[in-house]
């Protein structure tokens, strides 16, 4: 038996490129696998479980149906990955009265780390690409001005947080539609904890997947904050000592990867702009501006805490959008900004006109001349 390229349509995005026949289920050809009930099941699990555990279960199933092969030897997936996923996903299976699939038996088809296993879900956590170590003779404040893939971005954020572990940490606010973690790096004197009267601030980048300048700027900003704090920069130390800063470089990693596959100069302005669900995140949040205008005309009506209109949930709400909304409810942010690319413009809250007919009317702000100058 020899390693062959993976040709299964549901498994082309795994973190390896070659598999071996027969697989762990003794299926001896691509045709046999594609017509099998196991292969069909991993293709429809997302719909059956209403989006839960996606694409984790599919990738786990692929590690059994299309086992990783290196130098004509099969490598089994790690048992602890299977056990953790089974623990997290069983409630979703119970909700539809479905048993855990037999071909994902953690004891039978998976191996322990001491046996040399691999993590089939590493790609979702950005652990596939390894960032090159920087030369030791570089100055303290050094930013590597290079483009970062999703996995390189995650690696850089983790390395930066590790370098400044006393003032920084990383966490995920949720998953994209294709299962990638939405990684945040936080800077604070007590990372991971809200402190009374310490203002919370967040920057978000890459809401449109093909607008990558904001994503890279936030990666560079994280490196800068860390290194300058360590070097004793009083301005940066004061900023971090008195503010809790959250940086989310990529809100749309799925769209970014789609644009990156096409390559700069070839993808136009549409490819990768939206999510894997074909949703524009910039237009997926509830329109509370119109609701605020409506309430402003009602005596005694509050506009500081506006409930989301029930009609909003009738449409399709992206998991990325839900993740940000959950994030906003868990942390009392007092200031936020989202970095886009492609236009010289700054928009503020209430940037919708009060009347629909005024949509294209010029509505300058008091500091319009400053913005134009910048």
- pLDDT value at position 330? 94
Q: Supply the pLDDT for residue 296.
A: 80
Q: What per-residue confidence (pLDDT) applies to 196?
A: 92
Lowest mean pLDDT among 100-114, 116-130, 236-250, 319-333: 116-130
Supply the pLDDT for residue 127: 61
- The pLDDT, as a whole number, for residue 368 is 66
DSSP per-residue string spanning 269-296: TTTTTS-TTS--GGG-S--HHHHHHHHH
Mean pLDDT over 74-103 rounds to: 92
Q: For residue 180, what are its two tokens?
A: 């990638």
Name the pTM for this structure. Answer: 0.72
pLDDT attached to residue 367: 66
CATH code for the structural domain at 4-125: 1.10.2000.10
Which has the minimum average pLDDT: 41-55, 109-123, 169-183, 214-228? 41-55
Those residues whose C-beta lies under 8 Å from the C-beta of residue 64, and which sit 6 or more positions away, are 23, 24, 25, 38, 77, 103, 104, 109
Bridge partners, 201 (sequence order): 245, 335
* Closest among 53, 46, 48, 102 to 81, alpha carbons compared: 53
Q: What is the pLDDT of residue 129?
A: 52
Asked if residue 42 has pLDDT above 60, the reply is yes
Query: Lowest mean pLDDT: which of 23-27, 37-41, 339-343, 368-372?
Result: 368-372
Burial of residue 85 (number of CB atoms within 10 Å: 0-12, 13-18, 19+)? buried
Q: How far apart are CA 113 and CA 45, in angstroms?
A: 27
The predicted model gives 237-251 an average pLDDT of 97
Q: What is the pLDDT of residue 146?
A: 80
pLDDT at 51 over 80: no
What sign does the dihedral 310-316-318-321 (CA atoms) show?
Answer: negative
On the question of pLDDT at 285 being above 80, the answer is yes
pLDDT band at 372 (very low <50, low <70, confident <90, very high): very low
Question: Looking at residue 270, what is its pLDDT?
Answer: 80
When the pLDDT of each residue in the chain is averaged and rounded to a whole number, the result is 87
Residue 355 has pLDDT above 80, yes or no: no
C-beta neighbour count of 279 within 10 angstroms: 20
Per-residue pLDDT tens for 164-199?
Answer: 999 999 999 999 998 899 999 999 999 999 999 999
What is the structure's pLDDT at 329?
93
Higher pLDDT, residue 298 or 357: 298
Q: Is the peptide bond before 22 cis (omega within 30 degrees of 0)?
A: yes
pLDDT at residue 139 is higher than 80: no
What does 42-75 look like in DSSP terms, one character per residue? HHHHHHHTTTTTTTHHHHHHHHHHS-EEETTEEE
pLDDT category at 133 given cuts 50, 70, 90 is low
Class of domain 150-279+316-342: alpha beta
Q: Give the C-alpha distances (Å, rounded to integers) separating 354 from 68, 296, 299, 367.
A: 58, 11, 18, 20
Q: Flag whether pLDDT at 263 surpasses 80.
A: no
pLDDT of residue 36: 94
Which residue is listed with tokens 């790096």? 185
- Return the percent helix, strand and coil in the chain, to nearest 5: 40, 15, 50
The torsion angles phi and psi of 103, rounded to 5 degrees, stand at -80, 0
Higher pLDDT, 265 or 57: 57
| Per-residue pLDDT, 55 | 85
Give the residue-averaged pLDDT of 62-89: 93
For the chain, domain boundaries:
4-125, 150-279+316-342
Average pLDDT over residues 98-121: 93
The mean per-residue pLDDT over the stretch 239-246 comes to 96
d(CA 230, CA 213): 26
Which ranges of 96-212 does DSSP label H, i.e. alpha helix? 150-163
């Amino acid at each position: 038996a020899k390693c062959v390229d993976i040709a299964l349509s549901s498994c082309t995005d795994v973190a390896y490129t070659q598999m071996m026949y027969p697989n762990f289920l003794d299926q001896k050809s691509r045709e046999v696998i594609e017509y099998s009930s196991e292969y069909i099941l991993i293709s429809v699990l997302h719909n059956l479980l209403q989006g839960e555990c996606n694409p984790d279960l599919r990738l786990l199933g692929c590690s059994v149906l299309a086992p990783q092969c290196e130098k004509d030897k099969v490598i089994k997936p790690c048992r602890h990955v299977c056990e953790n996923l089974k623990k997290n996903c069983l409630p979703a299976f119970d909700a539809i009265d479905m048993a855990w699939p037999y071909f994902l038996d953690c004891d039978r088809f998976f191996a322990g780390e001491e046996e040399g296993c691999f993590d089939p879900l590493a790609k979702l956590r950005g652990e596939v690409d390894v960032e090159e170590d920087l030369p030791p003779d570089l100055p303290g404040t050094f930013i590597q001005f290079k483009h970062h893939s999703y996995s390189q971005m995650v690696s850089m954020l983790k390395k930066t947080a590790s370098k400044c572990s006393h003032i920084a940490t990383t966490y995920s606010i949720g998953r994209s539609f294709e299962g990638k973690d939405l990684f945040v790096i936080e800077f604070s004197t007590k990372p991971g904890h809200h402190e009374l009267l310490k203002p919370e601030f967040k920057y978000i980048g890459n809401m449109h997947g093909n607008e990558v300048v904001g994503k890279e700027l936030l990666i560079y900003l994280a490196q800068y904050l860390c290194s300058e704090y360590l070097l004793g920069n009083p301005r940066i130390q004061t900023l971090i000592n008195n503010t809790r800063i959250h940086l989310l470089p990529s809100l749309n990693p799925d769209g970014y990867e789609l644009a990156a596959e096409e390559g700069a100069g070839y993808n136009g302005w549409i490819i990768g702009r939206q999510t894997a669900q074909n949703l524009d995140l910039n237009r997926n949040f509830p329109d509370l501006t119109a609701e605020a205008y409506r309430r402003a005309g009602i005596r005694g009506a509050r506009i500081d805490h506006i409930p989301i209109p029930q009609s909003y949930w009738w449409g399709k709400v992206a998991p990325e959008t839900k993740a940000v909304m959950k994030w906003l409810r868990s942390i009392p942010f007092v200031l936020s900004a989202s970095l886009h690319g492609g236009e010289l413009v700054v928009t503020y809250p209430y940037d919708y006109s009060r009347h629909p007919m005024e949509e294209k009317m010029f509505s300058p702000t008091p500091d319009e001349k400053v913005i134009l100058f910048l």
